[in-house]
């Protein structure tokens, strides 16, 4: 029996739109050649934002703190501490290496932090406060010297108050109020007294993703993220209403956010579809957005066996993957393509999105086949070194010279033989 689709909608490809490509290319080119004048022009045109300086002042940061009540401030500090703690634990696993591979030949590697990082926090439909925690706190744990945090203006005052407060709380060294493509251009080419960064990270819309694609090489990037995705593997032991809620919870990101259920029970798949409908007919808080996403991009697949479930799930390679079955440990051991895995009915994606400690910047559009998400290691360069004695050099030189000669690279061969005398 082949997998049966009770509902189909998950996009198999994310198409790049030519108008997006052309617009991004134009903005980046103008900023590269004109500098701040082009940034100011595009900011005024796209965001109606043309301040005296795009660098957020200390007074504005202080004012933003007054918009955050004590309870929310405590929750934000809790989330920051969890992300910092997990990043520190990850960093501790990355140790430097030095080994003598043969007498007189010492090889090693070191993990060195990137010098300057640009962190973008989206502010479109939702001002993503937690994004700053993920993309500012973690590079600071890695040892990055300067993190330039950027977010678009929310209103005439600039960055949304709680978002600005969180950028500062997370440890940003400089904060810019800029949106979209012009923000990434400012990070890549510099603006005012803020020099260009080495690496840019953070999610955004199609224009942001295209900006990162076109800037790659000028700067490093974390990954190219598309619409948020969620997949749930569940069987008849799961709570259909809870699974339906988790599917809609991620679908509220946008009307193009796909949601997938993979199950071994046709009855359970039908029950989840019915529960989604009940939520949308009832009091689901973001039904307009989540409902559109489910109608266009909701998918339910019924499989004959757990092995087929794994095969189907790995083919989708979802950004977020929940497992709610009677065999959670077996699935956790056998699944391999996902951005982040949520094991058991208590592990909802929202926990990771906001405050549990793992990073919410994750691969989409099947990129989980070949990469994981953002983590402390992304902000480190693993660089190698070699140290040789004269005896060690004489051991290595003959093979090096012979291979170089065979490649017709006789200069390489000469430099090797000079150390074999």
Q: Which residues are catalytic?
A: 319-320
Phi, psi of 120 (to 5 degrees): -105, 130
Residues 6 or more apart whose CB falls under 8 angstroms from that of 12 comprise: none
Q: Residue 379 to residues 58, 146, 214, 376: CA-CA distances in angstroms? A: 27, 12, 20, 6
Edge-first strand order for the sheet with 340-343 is 4-7, 298-302, 259-263, 230-234, 320-324, 340-343
> DSSP string of 111-150?
EEE-SEEEEE--BSSSB-HHHHIIIIIHHHHHT-SEEEEE
| CB-CB contact of 130 with 360 (8 Å) | yes
Distance between CA atoms of residues 233 and 307, nearest Å: 12
Q: Residue 284 to residues 95, 246, 269, 273: CA-CA distances in angstroms? A: 47, 12, 20, 15
Distance between CA atoms of residues 250 and 258, nearest Å: 9
Here the tokens at position 307 are 């092995």
Distance between CA atoms of residues 67 and 72, nearest Å: 10
Buried b (16+ CB within 10 A) or exposed e, 246-273: bbbbbbbbbbbbbbbbbbbbeebbbbbb
Distance between CA atoms of residues 243 and 233, nearest Å: 9
Local structure of 106: helix, strand or coil: strand
Distance between CA atoms of residues 126 and 212, nearest Å: 21
């Amino acid at each position: 029996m082949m997998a049966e689709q009770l509902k189909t909608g998950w996009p198999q490809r994310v198409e790049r739109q030519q108008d997006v490509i052309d617009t991004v290319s134009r903005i980046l080119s103008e900023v590269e050649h004109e500098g701040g004048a082009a940034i100011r022009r595009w900011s005024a045109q796209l965001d109606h934002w043309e301040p005296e300086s795009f660098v957020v002042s200390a007074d504005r940061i202080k004012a933003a703190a007054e918009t955050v009540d004590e309870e929310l401030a405590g929750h934000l500090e809790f989330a920051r501490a969890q992300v910092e703690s997990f990043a520190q634990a990850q960093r501790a696993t990355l140790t430097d290496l030095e080994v003598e591979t043969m007498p007189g030949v010492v090889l090693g590697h070191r993990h060195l932090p990137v010098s300057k990082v640009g962190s973008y926090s989206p502010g479109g439909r939702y001002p993503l406060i937690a994004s700053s925690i993920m993309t500012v706190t973690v590079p600071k744990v890695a040892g990055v010297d300067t993190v330039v945090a950027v977010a678009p203006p929310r209103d005439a005052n600039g960055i949304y108050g709680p978002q600005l407060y969180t950028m500062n709380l997370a440890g940003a060294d400089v904060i810019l109020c800029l949106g979209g493509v012009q923000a990434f251009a400012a990070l890549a080419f510099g603006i005012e007294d803020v020099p260009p960064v080495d690496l840019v990270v953070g999610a955004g819309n199609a224009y942001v993703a295209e900006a990162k694609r076109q800037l790659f090489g000028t700067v490093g990037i974390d990954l190219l993220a598309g619409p948020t995705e969620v997949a749930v593997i569940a069987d008849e032991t799961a709570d259909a209403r809870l699974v339906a809620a988790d599917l809609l919870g991620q679908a509220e990101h946008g009307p193009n956010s796909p949601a997938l259920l993979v199950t071994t029970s046709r009855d359970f798949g039908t029950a989840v579809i019915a529960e989604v409908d009940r939520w949308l007919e009832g009091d689901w808080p973001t039904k307009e957005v989540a409902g559109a996403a489910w109608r266009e991009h909701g998918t339910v697949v019924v499989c004959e066996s757990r092995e087929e479930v794994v095969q189907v799930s790995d083919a989708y390679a979802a950004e977020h993957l929940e497992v709610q079955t009677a065999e959670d440990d077996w699935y956790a051991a056998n699944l391999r393509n996902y951005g982040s895995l949520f094991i058991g009915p208590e592990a909802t994606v929202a926990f990771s999105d906001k405050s549990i400690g793992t990073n919410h910047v994750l691969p989409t559009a099947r990129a989980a086949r070949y990469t994981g998400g953002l983590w402390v290691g992304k902000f480190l360069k693993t660089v190698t070194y070699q140290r040789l004695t004269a005896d060690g050099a004489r051991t290595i030189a003959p093979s090096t010279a012979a291979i170089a000669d065979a490649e017709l690279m006789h200069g390489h061969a000469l430099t090797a033989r000079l150390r074999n005398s």
